[in-house]
Each structure stands twice: as C-alpha cells, then as structure tokens.
Structure 1
C-alpha cells in the first residue's frame, strides 16, 4: 500500500511543558559525581538539548488508541502467529488462500473477503489488521504515522531533584535509597508527525490525541504519578499534499505544482472539515482504497 505516494499530512506543532518532564537517558555515565538519572538529550550546534524521542511519542499515542479500542486491538508485544490477533487472522486467511478447496465457503469470513480476492498482499494485510496496527504498524504493516524526535527550543530550564523510597511499615525513608535526577523544568519542544497515504479518520485520531494531551490525560516520560510529564499542544499547522494533478481544487485554496497539490491548514480548519468523521467507526476502519477518500 506504499508502492505509490498518494497523499501526506505533515503536522508540525509544539509541546509545551505544564509540569516537569523526565525521560531518562539510558546511557550510563562513568563520572562518579554525575546524577543517578539525567534527561535524554542530543547535541545540536554543539549544545546539549533535551528531546522527546519519536519512539516515546509513538508509544504514548498508540497506547491511548489501544485503550480506546479495547478488545478490537491486538497485543502488539505478542509476536506469535498463533496468539497475536492480527497475525493469527492473516495466517488463517493465507492458509485458506492456499487451500485446494477454495470454493468451500463455510463461514462469513470467506464471503466478506470475496471482494478482496484481487487485492495485493499489502492491502489484504491492512484490511485484516486491527485499527491500531493500521495506523501505527505491525510485523506485517508499515506505520502510516511517522514521528520525528521533538527537540527543545532555546530557553529551556533544567533542574534536579532527589527522591527516596519510603518504608511501608515505619513510614520513614529507607537507608541508601536516595536517588538524585535531572529533569526538564520548563521547555518548548518542536515536534513533527507525518501521515503517509492516510485516511481521514487517521488524521482525526491524531487531533483527538492532541486534545487528550491538553487535558492532561496523556503524559510523557517517568514519574507521571508524581505529576510529571503533562504537556500542552500549541501552534499546530497541517500541510496536506495530494500527489498528481488535482483539477478543480485550486479554487479551494490548494496550490498545484508539477508533483502535488498542497494546502496549509490550521488546527481549527481541519477539525471543521473532519467534524463528521468518527475515528471509532468500523465503517471507516474497513476502507482500503484511498481513491474513494474525500479530499480535505
């Protein structure tokens, strides 16, 4: 389903800390005077700056969607074909496809997939996967939502704090349990998420996740039970591209060049255009052909 580039939504936004942020650097330091834990960072123009890894954001976003789906979602950490919901379904269909008795339709499973008999393997894998795998990928599918690392802008503030475990019986601090760590006290992180060959319900899901971040339901990093990791999404711009010639769309605000038609939306404009879309609608999940999808 990625052999041809059909559309893109390039979503740029800022994540502003509303409480301290602590995403631990895994690399151990040999300096005995160093903190027990320090924030994850990278070097940009010879300056050490905090980052929110794209993998961390993807994990937070996917986890939220899986909770919304409940039993509709598979266990992505289970990579066994016999127990993972998506892999098991795909395997069962592949076995039916190889079966010599292909005309024996004993259940609705075959009848439902009769319309897909001419589809490519990629489209079949997509159709048979759970909604979370359709968006974020799996062992059989590439993710449609790509995450860049979010890098802190200038002006961020770093602080340190000590914590210690409490003895559950005495209520006193345990000996030799002091842990001192560095964290981002305040910062603005420039983030980017790119949707490739997306359906409108998948973009609507992303905007819904932004709202849950603003509400403090979704947090980032460690010590979230202590109030860490709350963020706010600001300055959202969404650049939508449809590849190929898009006749008659220039009047709707799109600019056409040799490769694609493009328009830049703000958050409010896209919400209005997707108002009728329900990202939890099974009819939306069942869509496979992008050519039938409504243009924003």
Structure 2
C-alpha cells in the first residue's frame, strides 16, 4: 500500500481553547513549596519552554471518536475481535491487510497495518495564559471528597494551538472522516486532555488549510497547479473543504474500495 506514492495531503490548523486545557506532565517538584502538584506538559521549541498538545493525544482522541462514528470499527483492545486477528502476517500483503481492516484501522493503522495519517504536536501561537486551580479527588463510592486528597493543577487558557496533520495515499473518504472529526470538535463532542468531565478541554477550529498533491496529473481538474512532477491545490478555509467533500459518502461500499482510480478532490 505504501510502495508507490499516489497522493498526499497536509492539513494545517489552529485550535482555540474555549475552556481550560489540562495536559498532565507527569512530573512534580516536591521540593518546591511554591510549585503545583500537577504541572502542564511543556517542551522546548525555538529555545523557549512552551506548553504542548502532543500529536499522540490528538490522534488518540480523534481515533476514539472515529471508532464511534464509523460503522464496523473493531475493538482494538480485544485480541480475538480486532483486525489483527483476521490477518495472516506471513501471507497477507499490504492490500490484503487493508481489505481485512475496519474503517478506523484503515485510516489510523493497527499492529498489522501502518497508519496513513501522522499527527504532529500542536504549539501555542501568540500569547496564552497559564493558571492553577486547587481541586480534590472524589470518592467513587460515597460521592464525597476524599480526605487528604487536595491537590493543585496547572492549566492553559486563552490560547491558540497550531498543529499539522499529514496523510499519504489517501482516499477521499479519509479526508471526509478527518473533516467530520473537526466538526465534532466545534460541536463539543471531541475534547482534549484531562478533567474533561469537569468542563476542561473544549476547543474550536480557528483557522484551517489543506494542501493536496497528486502525482497522477490525469486525475486533477483545472483548479490544480502544475508543479512539474505533481499537481497541487490549496484549500484555505474549512468551509470550502466542507463544500468540496459534501457529496462523498461514508458507506461501507465507499470505505471498502481499495483502488486508486478515483478523481482528485
């Protein structure tokens, strides 16, 4: 499935926080009396230590939601019912593994099929605020607060996070799924980070661009620009992409096809 490059797309997006965003770093400085118990995840970027929304977290949230909206998706954690259990690792080539995979695994990959989509880390654009909040753990049995379970956590708000998604050898329905997932973000059904049950992690799409490349020029319309060995088109708004793919279905027949004969978006 990946021996030849048929097409590729690069999505650049900006997500705006609508509520506090909490991504736990897993580290705390117990010797610092002014430090918080659970600090926000940070990494160095261009020499500065900044908050980060990890690409693995974004992919995990997107995949989890895709498994719910795509009919026939497997149970990834059930070794007897997931897509890997249907594959003969010695005999099945990439095409056979793809055909035996569920819709979610076809896009996001599995233990027997490489993912077509790569989620990069998202970093803040411009100014942002870092706050802290004191909270307490809840006893699941009594519903009351636990004794000696008070802790501080650090969060980010009023921020714009810019990230990128790359996808190779895609079918049009792959782009349709990613677009629908961004719609779910705007509608509040897809949230990020921790403490989402307390209202954290709400975001919305603030800016969007997708750049499409096709290496078979015969598939492209007049709106594509000839770049020599490939054809390219850039869609600069989410609404424009929605209009472009509105007639693409997510039926089993559409998803089940494994042919590179469809026309370009």
Kindly state the Cα deviation for residue 48 of structure 1 after the two structures are TM-superposed: 1.5
User: Contact conserved, 2:219 with 2:262, CA < 8 A, in 1?
Assistant: no
| Residue pairs, 1:1-296, within 5 angstroms | 1-29=1-29, 31-33=31-33, 34-69=35-70, 72-78=72-78, 80=79, 83-91=80-88, 121-166=93-138, 173-244=145-216, 246-247=217-218, 249=220, 252-265=222-235, 266-279=237-250, 281-290=251-260, 292-296=261-265
Kindly state the Cα deviation for residue 88 of structure 1 after the two structures are TM-superposed: 2.3
Q: What SS does the aligned partner of 2:257 have?
A: coil
| Structure 1 residues not aligned, in runs of 5+ | 98-119
Q: What SS does the aligned partner of 1:23 have?
A: coil
CA 1:169–1:126 in 2, change beyond 3 Å: closer, same or farther? closer
| Structure 2 residues not aligned, in runs of 5+ | none
Tell me the C-alpha RMSD between the 2 structures. Answer: 2.2
| Number of residue pairs matched by the alignment | 263
Rounded to whole Å, the distance in 2 between the matches of 1:35 and 1:73 is 40
Q: What SS does the aligned partner of 1:165 have?
A: strand
Kindly state the Cα deviation for residue 168 of structure 1 after the two structures are TM-superposed: 7.5
1:68-124 CA-to-partner distances (Å, cap 9, x unmatched) read: 235x1222234x3xx033122223xx79x7xxxxxxxxxxxxxxxxxxxxxx71000
Rounded to whole Å, the distance in 2 between the matches of 1:136 and 1:43 is 28
| Structure having the larger proportion of residues in helix | 1
TM-score by length of 2: 0.92
Larger Rg belongs to: 1
